[in-house]
Amino acid sequence: MPHQDIEFDAEGTTIRGWFFPASGTTDKAPTVVMAHGFTAVKEMELDRYAEVFSAHGINVLVYDNRGFGDSDGTPRQEIDPWAQIRDYRHAITYASTLDGVDPQRIGIWGSSYSGGHVLVVGAIDRRVKAVVSQVSLISGYDNYRALVRADFIDGYQTLFDTDRANRFEGKEPATVPVVAANPMDPAALPSADSWTWFTETSKNRAPNWKNEVTVRSLEMMTEYNPIDYIARIAPTPMLLMPAQNDVVAPTIFALRAYEEAREPKKITILPGGHYDAYGPGFEASSSAALDWYLTHL
């Protein structure tokens, strides 16, 4: 499906991405705004979702998060969750100015870290008329403690404190690998399936992905709790899609969060683990999201 390169201003930072126009219509159509999760760039399967949605009459705006991929932003390789949330809102504003977009029918899609972002955006931005959140980060605090071994927590805290002191002295932010072949080595996502997905997907689809993230990004993740917002999404319809056996964003956190959400809501359990949503579970994840948008947009 052909798409257009786009860029927009996010209060001084240029965000770049793609616009997939809705197929089969010359009228104003609903639009889905989507960005990727923890350090991932748009080439890492987001075009496949966009193609599914646009083939069924939905415009799609896909972009790289600030500091990653084709977007501007400094420090590079840094994830500030609240800056990324504001950028979703900037993207909605930009999308609403485009020909062929019905600004009254805007949906948002997020996965993993951005799956948490769309829960927050859906709660605070009433321009959003449908939310889809898959394999979501529900609580940064809980997720961090689920990913990092208990006996490593103090070491990471020392890393946070040292980096903060160094930045105060004017030094560059420290970084750590996103993934490592050995789960015992320091990494932001220390799981075997994270190493496999990021290295294979970047090699095959996204050579501009970098195996690097700032230490400050991990500290900010521990402060970030999208679950605090999930009860406020209603009356906007929300679809939550945890994976059956997710060890990166543990399934149980999403199941508990779903109980706190209010109607209209739906939960669909995806097959496999965290990254299977982009591979063997792609048909399940994309078709469930499409049905949600067709119903509510």
pLDDT, mean of residues 102-111? 98
pLDDT tens per residue across span 9-50: 999 999 999 999 999 988 999 999 999 999 999 999 999 999
Whole-angstrom CA distances from 239 to 113, 119, 139, 176 are 16, 10, 18, 33
pLDDT, mean of residues 262-267? 98
Q: How far apart are CA 99 and CA 112, in angstroms?
A: 30
Q: Is the pLDDT of residue 164 over 80?
A: yes
pLDDT value, residue 1: 58
Contact (Cβ atoms closer than 8 angstroms) between residue 268 and residue 287: no
Strands 4-10 and 13-20: antiparallel
pLDDT, mean of residues 274-288? 98
For the chain, the structural domain boundaries read 4-139+224-296
Q: Is the pLDDT of residue 262 over 70?
A: yes
Residue showing tokens 């257009």: 4
Is domain 4-139+224-296 annotated with CATH 3.40.50.1820?
A: yes
Which amino acid type is present at position 135?
V
pTM over 0.75: yes
